[in-house]
Amino acid sequence: MPQFIIPVINDAFGTHYPMNVPFEQLKNEFYRKGGKIVTDSIFLIEGHIYHVECQSNPDNTMAIRMFEYGLEIAIERARKNKDYLHVDLPESAVIYLRHTAQTPDTLTVEVSAPNGQTLNYESKVIKVQEYTKDAIFRKKLLMYLPFYIMRYENELKTIDKDKKRLESLLKEYVGICAKLEKVLEDNGESEVYGDLVGYILEIVDYMLRTQENARKEMNKMGGKILESYTEKTRRNSQKELANAVRDISSGVKPAELKKKYDAETIKNAKDTIKIAKSMK
């Protein structure tokens, strides 16, 4: 779901790209004598390059790695300008799913040139656990929702044995999924709801792998949410098909039909009309 990186970039770098901005995912593998370097994600948006890495935990080598990745990305896209070579270092950020009180807000590498000039290459640090669910929804950082459970990592054993706390966690996740569905519907992205909820539940299941009671209850809750969504999707699909059949039968022009329905719905509606006629 690469489109969900756009709000992350906006939040990290202070940009204001709309969700539907055209972008390109660039190659993320670089080969050299020492072996292969593989980065997480590199995006080209309106002529600007953004490099985003994701880490489970803070890493003392991350600053130099981000600089190394940045150089590889810049060299890959270097361009000749008269008698010198021009390289553009990308805007870069690292997403930490966990962090400590010592985790900095910026990773900095200071580069000194022989002529005495210095360059500070900075990578933004995003600490996912600092975002409340309200902030995640307000900033449309839906990419962080699957990792929301990680803020409770040190409390999961207690939650597993505490009925009230477990009920509270279940209620919170029901609310998250309900709000997610509405946000996606409002943004015309309903089709990814099931996948995104699936990712949320997958990580929840992993985080609760040693908490038998909590895992069982969360899986039960997740099953009900997905079952409800599947049934709703089926009903909506049937309703849309019925509307398409009505419009085609009443002579709505093809151009207008294409504005209202996707190609598959129009085809199914026409097939339904043919079957109905053949049965008369």
Rounded mean pLDDT of 55-76? 88
Q: How confident is the model at residue 194 (pLDDT cuts 50, 70, 90)?
A: confident
Q: How confident is the model at residue 242 (pLDDT cuts 50, 70, 90)?
A: confident
Instruction: Write the CA distances from 156 to 128, 130, 133, integer angstroms.
Output: 18, 18, 18
Instruction: Write the CA distances from 87 to 34, 43, 71, 93, integer angstroms.
Output: 22, 16, 9, 19
- Domain ranges across the chain: 2-130, 146-237
- Whether 38 has a pLDDT exceeding 90, the answer reads no
Percent of the chain with pLDDT over 70: 91
Per the confidence metrics, is the pTM higher than 0.75? yes
Measured between alpha carbons, how far is 28 from 217 in angstroms, rounded to an integer?
A: 39
Q: How confident is the model at residue 31 (pLDDT cuts 50, 70, 90)?
A: low
- Average of per-residue pLDDT values in the chain: 87
Q: Please give the residue that has the higher pLDDT: either 177 or 257.
A: 177
Q: How confident is the model at residue 33 (pLDDT cuts 50, 70, 90)?
A: low
Say what the pLDDT of residue 168 is: 94
User: Is 43 in a helix, a strand, or coil?
Assistant: strand
Torsion over CA of 152, 154, 158 and 160, rounded to 10 degrees? 60
Say what the pLDDT of residue 9 is: 95
Say what the pLDDT of residue 75 is: 85
CATH architecture of the domain with range 2-130: 3-Layer(aba) Sandwich (3.40)
pLDDT in tens, 95-111: 999 999 999 999 999 99
